[in-house]
């Protein structure tokens, strides 16, 4: 697994974000979509920064400890990603 964070959509590296949990790459064999009837039009206004604010209040020790105890499994009981694999801290 690469340690370089990637922007959603694969548009290149994203800035290091200690609140980010994972980038999961999948090969899609088929996509079904709506015909467009009764689908609302939405406008993207801005990204929410609650996750970044929340993680900013955690120390470098607290964040991994929280993930180990609270994010060890998905809500349906499946095992989470290995917490030892993380984002590389930016040095520049």
The domain locations on the chain are 49-80
> What pTM, to 2 d.p., does this model score?
0.49
pLDDT tens digits along 21-76 = 666 778 889 888 777 777 788 888 988 889 889 999 999 899 888 888 888 888 88
b/e for 37-68, b at 16 or more Cβ within 10 A? eeeeeeeeeeeeeeeeeebeeeeeeebeeebe
């Amino acid at each position: 697994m690469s340690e370089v964070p990637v922007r959603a959509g694969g548009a290149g590296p994203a800035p290091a974000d200690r609140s980010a949990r994972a980038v999961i790459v999948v090969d899609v064999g088929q996509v079904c979509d709506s015909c467009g009837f009764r689908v609302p039009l939405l406008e993207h206004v801005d990204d929410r920064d609650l996750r970044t604010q929340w993680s900013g209040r955690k120390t470098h020790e607290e964040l991994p400890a929280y993930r180990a105890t609270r994010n060890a499994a998905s809500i349906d009981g499946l095992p989470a990603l290995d917490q030892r694999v993380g984002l590389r801290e930016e040095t520049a």
